[in-house]
Structure 1
Amino acid sequence: MGCRIVADSSCDLSDELKEKMDIGLVPLKIDTENRSFIDDENLDIHELLTAMKDSEHGVKTSCPSPNDFLKEYEKSDNTFVVTLSSKLSGTYNSAVLAKNIMSEDNDKFIHVFDSKSASIGETLVSMKIFELIQKQYDKFDIVTKVEQYIDEMKTFFVLDNLDNLIKGGRLTKIAAHIASFLSIKPILGSDGDGDIKLYDKARGSKKVFRRFVEVVGEEGSDFENKVLGIAHCNAPEVAYELKEQFQEKYHFKDIIVVETAGLSTVYANDGGIVIAF
């Protein structure tokens, strides 16, 4: 039955990538004050954003059950799974538990990758797996190369609104204070182990995005052999303007732009930008 990629719904994909890679997406659940959403292809992002704005007490998300993953594992003899950071969600543990349950009854190959990221970071990990499958690498070589890719990947983001990250316990109150003081906007990123840290800050949107572009040069290298991913929440103009700036300055092998799906929308919030490379 070949190899197949499965990811949770934090893996943000364009229509082109969905068609090309045929990834099995396992949805998370999103609960606002008055509505519940399943993060699948039927979710309307604008309805979710409206419901989020109307929720005074924050938004809650629920990871998929092991049974949700089992349904996807049954579709292939060899499955590579990508989840959002285990430091941010129980999704990784759910995927691993499903793997252990499946392994009791058969000899299917299943490997679960902790992306140590989310959103476009998961997308890039999935793309790397797909690339290696297409090149017909051995499945164990794929595991080794993708784990190395995850360890070297950088993820950064700038958000207009930090409320859901704060209320969800995924951002320290110190960073929240900085964000609300004198229009200072933080540049946040992965700490290398899948948790969120404050990387830098700037006053105002123009300065923070200028600094955002500089950060890539400070933190990255060998751009000609790397793909940069940009995910945006209802902010296509900002995303494509950033794409042009990255193209002019760093000459990446490729730069892709995608819209955030439901889970990423919850935490990126309206106007949020996430990059990974």
Structure 2
Amino acid sequence: MIHVVTDTTATVLPEMLAQHPNLHVVPMSLCVDGNYVDEDKITIEQVIEFSEREKTAIPTSQPSTGDFLRVFNEIPEEDGIICIHLTSGVSGTVNGARLAARQSGRKNIAVIDSHTTAIGMRQMIQDAFEMMEAQMPFDEIVSRLNDVALHMHTTFTVPTLDYLRRGGRLGKAAGLIGSILRIKPVIYINDENQVDALDKVRTEKKAIARMVKYLEEHSPCKRIGIVHIMNLERAQALQAKVQEMYPDIEVTCSTGTAVLAAYLGPGLVGIIFESA
């Protein structure tokens, strides 16, 4: 049997866990009021309320080496393990999983940097199970998932860069800070797997248009998802627009997670897609 290990930023649905007993989710955690809380034990609204009140970044913690080893040790030695995690551009989770894999001494653990998050990770997990059902060998599944990761694209706009700035995750987008009060930043994960500035515009409408243009620039697409943080109405409007543009693709819409809210703040809306 092959097992999939992921983290809570993948927004794995309860029905997916129920359907796949060989799917394991290792929690990220957040420090609120001096206490670390597993991501699945706190809401996005609680994270935003605390961050707005304190005007400070909420520290987040990737799963520890011990967290990974505990999961690995529960899986029979003869079974393969595929880890699919949040982009290394914003988190050390991938490196933590690789360290744990080395410490485990097992040769059948593959760690994949998704180059994305949220719905993009969830799509890759679903891919893994579909390939298992097709009885593909372990190495081929890993190879195909790595290829999918290289074709994943993530772009989003946020009302403010304060959350990224506080958390030190602006990366190459740091140049936007000088004009932060007068722009709507459009951010993306670049080819080097880093947070970068795609554009800076004056209105949210123009920011949405720029994200749609980015999507068109990478067409044809295989899959498209809309992600948001406390911005459902705008996300659904974007979903309808993109669905009209790509009638042959089911465009999905889902929320981010508490850790992503701590990184990026409320009001985010973005597009995560796989190019052909």
Q: 1:136 to 1:179 in 2, by over 3 A?
A: farther
What is the rounded CA distance, in whole Å, between the counterparts of 2:2 and 2:138 in structure 1?
A: 9
Please show how residues 1-277 of structure 1 align to structure 2 within 5 Å.
2-21=1-20, 23-32=23-32, 36-40=36-40, 42-76=41-75, 77-103=79-105, 109-171=108-170, 172-181=173-182, 184-221=183-220, 223=221, 226-277=222-273
Structure 1: runs of 5 or more not aligned: none
Name which of structure 1's ranges 9-18 and 43-52 shifts more when overlaid on structure 2. Answer: 9-18
Distance 2:159 2:14 in 1: 26
* Cα deviations by residue, 1:33-59 (Å, 9 ceiling, x for unpaired): 56543212x222221221111122322
Deviation for aligned residue 1:94: 1.1
State how far apart, in whole Å, the 2-side matches of 1:75 and 1:253 are.
38
Equivalent residues of 2:7, 2:25 under 8 A apart:
yes
Q: Distance in 1 between matches of 2:268 and 2:184?
A: 12
1:228-255 per-residue CA deviation (whole Å, 9 max, x = no partner) reads: 1222111211111111111101235322
**Number of equivalences:** 267
The amino acid of 2:37's aligned partner reads F
**CA displacement 1:74-126 (0-9 Å, x = unmatched):** 343221101122232221111111111222xx56x211101122333322322
Bigger Cα displacement from structure 2, 9-18 vs 196-205: 9-18
CA distance in 1, matches of 2:195, 2:212: 19
CA contact (8 A) 2:158 2:267 kept: yes
CA distance in 1, matches of 2:204, 2:263: 18
Contact 2:124/2:145 (<8 A) preserved? yes
Tell me the distance in 2 between the aligned counterparts of 1:177 and 1:252. Answer: 41
Cα distance in 1 between the residues matched to 2:251 and 2:179:
31
How far did residue 194 of structure 1 move? Answer: 1.5
Amino acid at match of 1:248: E
Question: Which segment drifts farther, 188-197 or 72-81?
Answer: 72-81
Q: Which runs of 5+ in 2 are unaligned?
A: none
* SS at 2:42 equivalent: coil
For residues 276 and 207 of structure 1, do their structure 2 counterparts lie closer, same or farther at Cα, with a shift above 3 Å needed?
Answer: same
CA 178–249 in structure 1, closer or farther in 2 if over 3 Å, else same: farther
Tell me, yes or no, if the aligned pair for 2:158 and 2:268 is still in contact at 8 Å: yes
Structure 2 contact 243–249 (Cα < 8 Å) conserved: no
Task: Give the TM-score, by structure 1 length.
Answer: 0.88
CA RMSD in angstroms comes to: 2.0
Residues 1:205 and 1:48: Cα distance change in structure 2 (over 3 Å): same
Residue identity matched to 2:169: R
State the AA in 2 paired with 1:228.
Answer: I
Partner Cα distance (2:54, 2:6) in 1: 28
